[in-house]
Each structure stands twice: as C-alpha cells, then as structure tokens.
C-alpha cells in the first residue's frame, strides 16, 4: 500500500470513529423539541435523590399551571439519560436550560432557582408571551 493510500485509509478510519462517537453522545435535541412545540422550553437536568433537584422540581410545579400552553417544561434525569446530559455538557445539578420558541438556547443556570426567580427570568428573556 502506498503512503498516500495509507494516509487516506487512516483519515477514513478517523472520520468513521468520530462519527461513531458523535452518534453515541447524541441524546435528545431539546432545541428541536422547543421548535416543534412552537413555544419556549425549560429543561431541568437533575436526579430524584438530590435535595436541590427536588426543590427545583417543586418550584417548577408552581409555574407549570401559570405557563400552560406558553412554556414547555421537561425533566431530564441525568442517571437515566446520560447521552442528553453529555450532549448539553451538564456537570452539576440542578441545571436549567431555557430555549426560545425557535429552539435557541437563551440562558443556562446551575443551582436551585425558586419559582419567583424562574418567573422573572422567563419574563426577562421574553419567553412569557401572551401574559
């Protein structure tokens, strides 16, 4: 095999390996979900045994009724959906990611955010249309 063919074979193998790794980390495309809904989406990354995550879920429950039909809410359990957590590079929990109605990530917050702070952040980002 000529050096040129060997070089091309190595490049091909590297490209295939990179594609395989990318496919493994794929996870859920939350931006696409927001765009499909046609409304903002707040993704809550956490676990059900984390005290701050439990408090975060309770704060979100307060807002779900207020924002019904205007904001989507999605909980991602990082122990059960590691690919989505990896896709969004989640290092600490709870982590909230705010997507607009076009699927663009607008804001990311690590830590607990109470219901009032969540409401204010949604308004500040212009994600509470129709209020």
pTM higher than 0.85 for the full model?
no
How far, rounded to the nearest angstrom, does the alpha carbon of residue 79 sit from its chain's CA centroid? 14
* One pLDDT digit (tens) per residue for the chain, 131 residues: 776 655 545 654 555 555 545 545 699 999 999 999 999 999 999 999 999 999 999 999 999 999 999 999 999 999 999 999 999 999 999 999 999 999 999 999 999 999 999 999 999 999 987 65
Q: Classify residue 54 as exposed, middle or buried by CB count within 10 Å of its CB (0-12, 13-18, 19+).
A: middle
Q: Give residue 23's pLDDT.
A: 47
Per-residue model confidence (pLDDT) at position 4: 63
Displacement of CA 37 from its chain's centroid (Å): 15
Q: Residue 10 has what pLDDT?
A: 60
| pLDDT at residue 129, rounded to an integer | 72
Contact 107, 122 (CB under 8 A): no
Task: Give pLDDT, residue 128.
Answer: 85
In the chain, the domains with their CATH numbers are 30-124 (3.40.30.10)
């Amino acid at each position: 095999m000529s050096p040129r063919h060997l070089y091309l074979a190595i490049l091909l193998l590297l490209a295939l390996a990179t594609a395989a790794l990318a496919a493994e980390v794929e996870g859920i495309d939350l931006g696409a979900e927001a765009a499909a809904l046609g409304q903002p989406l707040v993704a809550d990354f956490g676990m059900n045994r984390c005290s701050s995550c439990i408090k975060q879920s309770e704060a979100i429950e307060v807002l779900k009724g207020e924002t019904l039909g205007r904001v989507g809410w999605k909980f991602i359990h990082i122990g059960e959906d590691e690919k989505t957590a990896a896709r969004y590079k989640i290092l600490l929990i709870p982590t909230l990611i705010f997507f607009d109605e076009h699927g663009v990530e607008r804001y990311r917050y690590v830590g607990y955010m109470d219901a009032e702070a969540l409401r204010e952040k949604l308004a500040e980002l212009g994600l509470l249309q129709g209020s």
